[in-house]
Structure 1
Amino acid sequence: MKNIQLRPLVAAIFLTGCSTPVFAQLGLNLSVDVRSLTMGNAVTADPPGISAIHFNPAALTKLKGLQTDVQGIVANFNIQKEFSAPQGYNVFGYSDDPLICNDAPDNPSSLCTDYKDKANGDVEYASLYVPILKKIVDLGAGWPVVAPTAGISYNPPGSKLTYATAAYAPMVAGFGSEDGNPGNFMGQQVAIERITYLSPSIAYQVNDELSIGASVGMSYQAVALKTDLRFPNEMIGVLRMVDEAVCAPFRGNSNVITDLLLFGMCNTNESMNPFGKFGQMQVSMEQSLSPSFNVGVLWDPSDDFGFGIVYQSAAKMRLKGKYFIDNANAPRELIKGLNSSATGQILAAILGFPGYIPPTESGLIAMDLEYPAHVQGGIKYKILPDLQVNFDLGWTDFKAWEKFKFEFDRQISALKIAKLLSNNVSDQSLALPLGFQSPWNWGIGFEYSATDRLKLRAGYEPRTSSIPDDKRNTLVPINNAQLFGLGLGYRFDEDTDIDLSVGFLRSRDNIPANSSSMANKTGVDNLLLNPYAGLNIKTNTKVTILGLNYRTRW
């Protein structure tokens, strides 16, 4: 087990965009407020301090005078990925995939004779995208992700208005692994960040029972990915069969006739292999200002009962950045071979193939992305004088990710080939149907007042995945998840509070062979997004979160 202390070109592009919704599932509300973690994020009717800016800005009216809030959140990720071959595994008759086969490279058999029990693609360390450097930085094995936050609020004496702002991270996550890791075909390095650096807010106390509030979030959004590429597909298997069975007799004895008949495909120095590495791609996209807003209502008729509801708006973005592609030799040799023959040139022209694939390609990339809207409502109720229960129900519009469209500043060699397989692909763009769902989720939390100074808390939040079963993948290996939280709050004096918390999120997933079109589905029409086609996949994700919050009134 490794602690982190955390596939094709087009797949890499897809993964870059897909990482946002998938990471949203993993990181949503895990790095905003420590008290909320311990209450299962069921705090709409009882928001914690200045973090009410995010959870329900109407509750800012509970803060009197000048207050400051400083928090530190540390997250440790343990992510395990396991790949194995099912009974009868093969790609067009080939099963010597080095990912799950122990056979030596010079073994003449095209069928594996010694399968590994499993191949481990565990994440090895945490990674973060650094805006100034514009690249992903590995934190090293054993180093956790740290998310500090801070806020300030002010309620003038006798005023019904409260003003506040805070800097916090609605979503921060990143993972990485060393070269050669089996999991690298769905992201060797991945980072996603949404950081709200300014959130001017205002709340108004209508009367003793009712408050309303609103906040505007000014956020930075970044998505970055580095991934290896491969295409274990029947079409590539056909090309390997042609090279080994048809071209072999003519190797070194080719002539004009064979070139014409075989389209020049035998004039290559390296053949295509469905299990071979096709190269590597790096993409980073960002937007410096991504505005959104929150609107909330809080009804607090008594100390024993309260109701709150909040609407968090969508944020429409135009992410822009750069891409870099390192093309492997085999696909370059295939196009070179086709163009060495008159019939091959004609075939390539008919199919619209490029005349040449360069060793590297780079340029600018952009995509429209909508951070999904979210609505949540809940109650607080004292079932005993010293015991309060909170319950929330929320809905997030993940269906906004029905399709992603990536746009490039120039023609991409791989897209000129991939457009034969899909109407969603052109020479300079790629539209990917995702089919995400918009699930409802709930959370529950308990707070026990042990003394006038000490409060004990516990919470539970089951998280229903927005990813359909036939779209699951290993980019962030999480489907349905459970979040548990424990914590305490201690009041040193009437002006100073400290909260301590620990949260634990767990998720296990099993993706049987041929069940997901974005991970392991076989078939001629599943060329682009299946780096583990035909393999069984299992994942086990554990996230441990520690938090400390210091609040004081001046």
Structure 2
Amino acid sequence: MNNIRLSPLVTAILLTGCSSAAFAQLGTNLSVDVRSLSMGNAVTADPPGISAVHFNPAALTKIEGLQTDVQGILANFDVKRQFSVPAGYNVFGYSDDPLVCNDGPEVSSDLCTDFKGSVSGDVEYASLYVPVLKKMVDLGEGTPLAAPTAAIAYNPPGSKMTFATAIYAPLIAGFGAENGNAGNYMGQQVALERITYLSPTMAFQVNDELSIGGGIGMSYQAIGMKTDLRFPNELIGMLRMIDEVVCTPFKDNSDIITDILLLGMCNAQEGMNPFGRFGQLELAMEQSLSPSYNLGVLWEPREDFSFGMVYQSASKMRLKGKYHIDNAKAPQELIKGMMSSPTGQILAAILGFPSSVPASESGLVSMDFEYPQHFQAGIKYNVMPDLQVNFDVGWTDYRAWDKFKFEFDRQISALKIAKLLSSDISDTSLALPLGFTSPWNYGIGIEYTATDRLKLRAGYEPRTSAIPDGKRNTMIPINGAQLFGLGVGYRFDADTDLDLSIGFLRSKDSIPANSSSLANQTGVNNILLNPYAGLNVKTDTKVTILGLNYRTRW
């Protein structure tokens, strides 16, 4: 019974944390710079133009005079999610889950007689969180995400100092689906974005071979989400059995004796169902100023070789926002039924259960959130006069997301129940262990100088997942991934360059039934979040990015 009131809020919080982790890895460096995208982001030793503010500030010393960069990047997210039934599927003896079962109300069996097979729950459109409106906006089916950027840099004549600032999006991603989509139980709409709106940066040329640089990034961070809720848990299966088997003889015919013996649960107008919809939740959190800093070194001992390093600091934030939950009738009726019985009231008082479940509830929520630190190093080498190869290795500290702690502006009855189950929970806070890892990745890029004006580029970046196998889910439509890039650079004249790039990221994942505690684990201990308990889950994510960069010197 304690699961009933606990689940909606805990689900919301957990989804929020996981979506952050998911898209941080999915979207990092996909919307920063066009040339870097085509080179597999292996550009630490060869940063492109003013985007060196992000990739290696030291390389700004290669800019002469006044230069401006304007870029436009479009990203299309194609996320397919499939659910299927394994042999022996059931939740506390029930398998008539309407998500995967064709049986209608005319079939009285608790076990499904006609399974659907594979059920699709594909993402249908892109979503963005709009800061001014403080809500998510659907972009419509087939409409890609857009990430325009702008930058300016100045190197005074004869000076070894270069100054720059840029507006760019280190991370932007979001998706949504219409009502009734099978994937809506782990995010009907999700949006995550980090936008750097000011990045004052300075670089200094120490000598002909060595440059150093550093800058401060001032960013906006936001998380938004709307999700349906359901909890196919063994405890709720037991409550369904009590309602349909034990309580059937006493429906509309109860007395004080049955109320005392059965804790009033048989007085509920609607019984619990592990496959039923428990309600819907909307949540948004943001921070307007999230500072960080970048430090870089560039060493160029020869014309055909260079080495670069960059450190991007962590950014610690205090995200604040609001949540709103609409509760379904069944959990309201169960608590109402318990309150109609003297023994139900006593049990609720002893355990500290709420006296009622409201139709809806709202409040304020905040959390300490850390955008992880990142280190990257790489080389550039001309294997032939016209052929350049870049190779980078990088590390991101996703281990900082080992645990998220959420704090509320009031005592939450759900947490009063949950604290009986975990030492990580109090009346006004909840700490969720996620157990992310900090992987190393590499990228490789090739640039061929076809003519004095034309350059051809290609890149490859395999991305190792930071998400443990036991935490994969459809909210995180990616495990390991591969990023491929192609690009063309054309110089119109001595002061004007144009870059055109296309990138393609692909990730396929299979989550067998009962293998993830954030998707499809069965049993009594899947109390937090397993809306697809007992089902096989597959995801297939394709992200296509198209970018254009116009760079000119004045």
Per the normalisation by structure 2, the TM-score is 0.98
C-alpha distance in structure 1 between counterparts of 2:178 and 2:165, whole Å: 40
Matched to 1:300, the amino acid is: E
The DSSP-based 3-state class of the residue aligned with 2:302 is: coil
C-alpha distance in structure 1 between counterparts of 2:301 and 2:489, whole Å: 24
**Shift in Å, 1:155:** 0.2
Matched, 1:418 2:418: yes
Distance 1:375 1:434, change over 3 A: same
The DSSP-based 3-state class of the residue aligned with 2:73 is: strand
C-alpha distance in structure 1 between counterparts of 2:105 and 2:145, whole Å: 39
Aligned equivalent of 2:543: 543
**Shift in Å, 1:428:** 2.1
Matched to 1:109, the amino acid is: S
C-alpha distance in structure 1 between counterparts of 2:548 and 2:201, whole Å: 24
C-alpha distance in structure 1 between counterparts of 2:62 and 2:104, whole Å: 69
The DSSP-based 3-state class of the residue aligned with 1:368 is: strand
C-alpha distance in structure 2 between counterparts of 1:465 and 1:191, whole Å: 20
The DSSP-based 3-state class of the residue aligned with 1:510 is: strand
Aligned equivalent of 2:523: 523
Aligned equivalent of 2:113: 113
Is the contact between residue 18 and residue 476 of structure 2 (CA under 8 Å) also seen in structure 1? no
Aligned equivalent of 1:344: 344
Matched to 1:416, the amino acid is: K
Aligned equivalent of 2:259: 259
Matched to 1:295, the amino acid is: L
Of stretches 424-433 and 321-330 in structure 1, the one that deviates more from structure 2 is 424-433
Is the contact between residue 8 and residue 228 of structure 1 (CA under 8 Å) also seen in structure 2? no
Q: Once the two structures are aligned, what percentage of the paired residues are identical?
A: 76
Aligned equivalent of 1:149: 149
Aligned equivalent of 2:308: 308
**Shift in Å, 1:415:** 2.8
Aligned equivalent of 1:370: 370
Aligned equivalent of 1:406: 406
Aligned equivalent of 2:23: 23
Aligned equivalent of 2:180: 180
Aligned equivalent of 1:386: 386
**Shift in Å, 1:424:** 2.1
C-alpha distance in structure 1 between counterparts of 2:527 and 2:496, whole Å: 59
Question: What do the CA deviations read for 1:21-75 (whole angstroms, capped 9, x no partner)?
Answer: 1101110000000100000000000000000000000000000000000000000
Aligned equivalent of 1:3: none
Matched, 1:357 2:343: no
Aligned equivalent of 1:233: 233
Aligned equivalent of 1:281: 281
C-alpha distance in structure 1 between counterparts of 2:142 and 2:37, whole Å: 23
Aligned equivalent of 1:212: 212
C-alpha distance in structure 1 between counterparts of 2:489 and 2:339, whole Å: 71
C-alpha distance in structure 2 between counterparts of 1:396 and 1:500, whole Å: 28
Question: Aligned ranges for residues 481-492 of structure 1 at < 5 Å?
Answer: 481-492=481-492
Question: What do the CA deviations read for 1:119-146 (whole angstroms, capped 9, x no partner)?
Answer: 1110000000000110000001111000
Matched, 1:66 2:74: no
Aligned equivalent of 1:334: 334
The DSSP-based 3-state class of the residue aligned with 1:527 is: coil
Question: Aligned ranges for residues 183-202 of structure 1 at < 5 Å?
Answer: 183-202=183-202
Of stretches 511-520 and 98-107 in structure 1, the one that deviates more from structure 2 is 98-107
Matched to 1:458, the amino acid is: A
**Shift in Å, 1:352:** 1.2
C-alpha distance in structure 2 between counterparts of 1:364 and 1:276, whole Å: 27
Is the contact between residue 178 and residue 188 of structure 1 (CA under 8 Å) also seen in structure 2? yes
Matched, 1:45 2:45: yes
C-alpha distance in structure 2 between counterparts of 1:98 and 1:423, whole Å: 36
**Shift in Å, 1:233:** 0.5
C-alpha distance in structure 1 between counterparts of 2:114 and 2:410, whole Å: 45
Matched, 1:510 2:548: no
**Shift in Å, 1:105:** 3.0
C-alpha distance in structure 2 between counterparts of 1:418 and 1:265, whole Å: 21
C-alpha distance in structure 2 between counterparts of 1:109 and 1:327, whole Å: 28
Matched to 2:294, the amino acid is: N
Aligned equivalent of 1:474: 474
**Shift in Å, 1:526:** 1.1
Is the contact between residue 232 and residue 527 of structure 1 (CA under 8 Å) also seen in structure 2? no
Aligned equivalent of 1:33: 33
Distance 1:347 1:426, change over 3 A: same
**Shift in Å, 1:246:** 0.4
Question: What do the CA deviations read for 1:265-304 (whole angstroms, capped 9, x no partner)?
Answer: 1000000000111111111000000000000000011220
Matched to 1:123, the amino acid is: V
Distance 1:192 1:291, change over 3 A: same
C-alpha distance in structure 1 between counterparts of 2:271 and 2:207, whole Å: 76
**Shift in Å, 1:426:** 2.6
Aligned equivalent of 2:3: none
Is the contact between residue 43 and residue 378 of structure 1 (CA under 8 Å) also seen in structure 2? yes
C-alpha distance in structure 2 between counterparts of 1:358 and 1:43, whole Å: 54
The answer for unaligned runs of 5 or more in structure 2 is 1-6
| RMSD over aligned Cα atoms | 0.9
Matched to 1:352, the amino acid is: G
Question: What do the CA deviations read for 1:237-278 (whole angstroms, capped 9, x no partner)?
Answer: 000000111000111110000000000010000000001111
C-alpha distance in structure 1 between counterparts of 2:481 and 2:424, whole Å: 32
The DSSP-based 3-state class of the residue aligned with 1:266 is: helix
The answer for unaligned runs of 5 or more in structure 1 is 1-6
Per the normalisation by structure 1, the TM-score is 0.98
**Shift in Å, 1:419:** 3.0
Is the contact between residue 437 and residue 466 of structure 1 (CA under 8 Å) also seen in structure 2? yes
Matched, 1:94 2:90: no
C-alpha distance in structure 1 between counterparts of 2:82 and 2:68, whole Å: 46
Is the contact between residue 196 and residue 218 of structure 1 (CA under 8 Å) also seen in structure 2? yes
Matched to 1:144, the amino acid is: P
C-alpha distance in structure 2 between counterparts of 1:496 and 1:276, whole Å: 60
Aligned equivalent of 1:4: none
